[in-house]
């Protein structure tokens, strides 16, 4: 099982490997730059060399980057779109340099013009991902909770891929808290089956690459994006168990983004997830 958490690379990528091992993780996610701003720390050749060695030695795979929340890939022409295009292009190259497999992004926001926003989103991906980025990391569009003005439903992500003519460089990242808040009841194996059937129909399962494993503080269908620690939200241990023990969903690399106070607490979260795996195995 590929199971990890969102970690900081502020002290360097090699240190992030050590952090991952301390919490029992064999994969992790990190922000490409300040999540609330635009600054990015520089990663030099010496750090990259040490990182690649430590990563291989400790079997860290896959490596998932996440664009900052300030990026709006669906913004209309202007400063916000220029900023989004610049960050997307720069960070794709930065992730490529360290050998990262995936870069996750929220699809974007709009002010009531969803159809136009989807067209703008497809255009910025076409210009900055598909043109000249053939061998870089795969861009993953994240499923969202459905808050007002927020893109990210399964149907909307399908429309973006249709507009792009289904390029191999673009895939999907699932988020359990977002999906639950969007109305997908993942508290049972049957509910997980329903989601997977929809994913297969709309995208093909081979395009689903990463799973953000979060409990939800918000109730089913609330369209509110509020994460909770594993087993302590509306999904509860029942829902988390259904997800991680599902034959398809449980096979995806899983990244925790739960509401821990410090990164070491992710070790407890990971242990809890693994315990739920063992419990199901013992029941069978």
Annotated binding site: 66, 106, 142, 175, 178, 212, 225, 227, 257
Distance CA(267)–CA(52), nearest Å, equals 23
Which CA distances in Å does 211 have to 18, 22, 84, 162? Answer: 22, 21, 24, 22
Q: Residues annotated as binding site for Zn(2+)? A: 66, 106, 142, 175, 178, 212, 225, 227, 257
**Residue-wise burial string across 219-243, b where 16 or more C-beta atoms lie within 10 A, e elsewhere:** ebebebbbbbbbbbbbbbbebbbbb
Given a contact cutoff of 8 angstroms between Cβ atoms, the answer to whether 143 and 172 are in contact is: yes
Pairing state between β 215-216 and 227-228: antiparallel
112's CB contacts (< 8 A; 6+ apart) are 149
The H-assigned helical ranges of the chain are: 13-22, 45-58, 79-97, 114-125, 154-164, 176-181, 189-202, 236-244, 266-283
Dmax (CA) of the chain: 57
Nearest to 151 by CA among 72, 52, 68, 263: 72
Token couple for 145: 């909770």
Distance CA(73)–CA(118), nearest Å, equals 9
């Amino acid at each position: 099982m590929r199971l990890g958490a969102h970690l900081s690379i502020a002290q360097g990528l090699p240190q992030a490997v050590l952090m991952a091992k301390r919490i029992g993780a064999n994969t992790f996610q990190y922000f490409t730059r300040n999540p609330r701003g635009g600054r990015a720390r520089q990663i030099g050749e010496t750090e990259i060399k040490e990182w690649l060695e430590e990563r291989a030695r400790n079997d860290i795979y896959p490596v998932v980057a996440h664009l900052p929340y300030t990026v709006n890939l669906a913004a209309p022409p202007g400063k916000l779109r220029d900023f989004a295009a610049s960050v997307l292009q720069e960070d794709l190259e930065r992730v490529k340099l360290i050998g990262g497999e995936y870069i996750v992004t929220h699809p974007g926001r709009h002010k009531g013009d969803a159809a136009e926003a989807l067209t703008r989103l497809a255009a910025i991906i076409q210009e900055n991902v598909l043109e000249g980025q053939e061998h870089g990391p795969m861009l993953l569009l994240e499923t969202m909770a459905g808050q007002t003005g927020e893109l990210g439903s399964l149907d909307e992500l399908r429309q973006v891929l249709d507009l792009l003519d289904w390029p191999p460089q673009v895939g999907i990242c699932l988020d359990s808290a977002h999906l639950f808040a969007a109305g997908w009841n993942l508290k049972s194996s049957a509910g997980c089956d329903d989601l997977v059937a929809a994913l297969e129909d709309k995208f093909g399962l081979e395009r689903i690459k990463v799973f953000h494993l979060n409990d939800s503080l918000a109730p089913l269908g609330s369209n509110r994006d509020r994460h909770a620690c594993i087993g302590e939200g509306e999904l509860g241990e029942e829902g988390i168990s259904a997800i991680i023990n599902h034959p398809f969903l449980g096979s995806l690399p899983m990244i925790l983004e739960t509401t821990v106070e410090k990164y070491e607490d992710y070790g407890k979260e990971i242990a809890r997830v693994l315990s739920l795996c063992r419990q199901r195995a013992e029941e069978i």
